[in-house]
Amino acid sequence: MKLDRFILNSDYTAAKQKGRYTLSLSVPSKYISDGSVSFIYTSTITVPQGAYFENVNITSSLDNENYSGNNVGFSYDYSNKSWSAYLSVYQSTPTQYTFACTLNGYNATTTAFTANAVVNLSISPF
């Protein structure tokens, strides 16, 4: 495109919104003995090739807060019985995004919880 045909405030170079997806996880209560094993729970969606996430919002029943970003971590410590949960959204293949929860701990029983991630996808205009 020639510069003399450029239209001011146009969307020629703006990212195009490709869709909004919601991923959900249901994480059960789990006893973690010595911290040597992590438990991973995942949920996957198929998206158009070339799409990327423009923004992600993660919510969890652990604290009912809304977190903007593609990852968040929670840590709990009860009388030397500690555990943590790490939630993240990432591109696992060119056409798939995965919402994952990793549980780690030491001599602790985790709390069962649910988590949701709302992913807004866009594609490049060129």
Reduced to 3 states (helix: H, G, I; strand: E, B; else coil), residue 3 is helix
Tokens coding 90: 């990432």
For the segment 81-89, the average pLDDT, to the nearest whole number, is 91
From residue 106, give the alpha-carbon distance in Å to each of 13, 46, 88, 91: 50, 35, 21, 30
Q: What is the pLDDT of residue 11?
A: 55
Listed by start position, the domains of the chain span 17-123
Q: Given pLDDT bands bounded at 50, 70 and 90, which one contains residue 5?
A: low
pLDDT of residue 94: 87
CA-to-CA distance for 80 and 8, rounded, in angstroms? 61
Q: What is the DSSP string of 11-33?
A: STTSPEEEEEEEEEEEEPP-EE-
Other beta carbons within 10 angstroms of residue 31's beta carbon come to 10
The token pair that represents 43 in the structure block: 């949920």
How many percent of the chain have pLDDT more than 90?
40
Both tokens assigned to 63: 């604290």
Read off the pLDDT of each residue in 82-110 and give the average, rounded to a whole number.
91
For 31-70, the pLDDT digits (tens) are: 988 877 789 999 999 888 877 777 899 999 999 899 998 9
* Selection from 121, 46, 57 nearest residue 87 by Cα: 57
How far is residue 100's CA from residue 13's CA, in Å, rounded to a whole number?
32
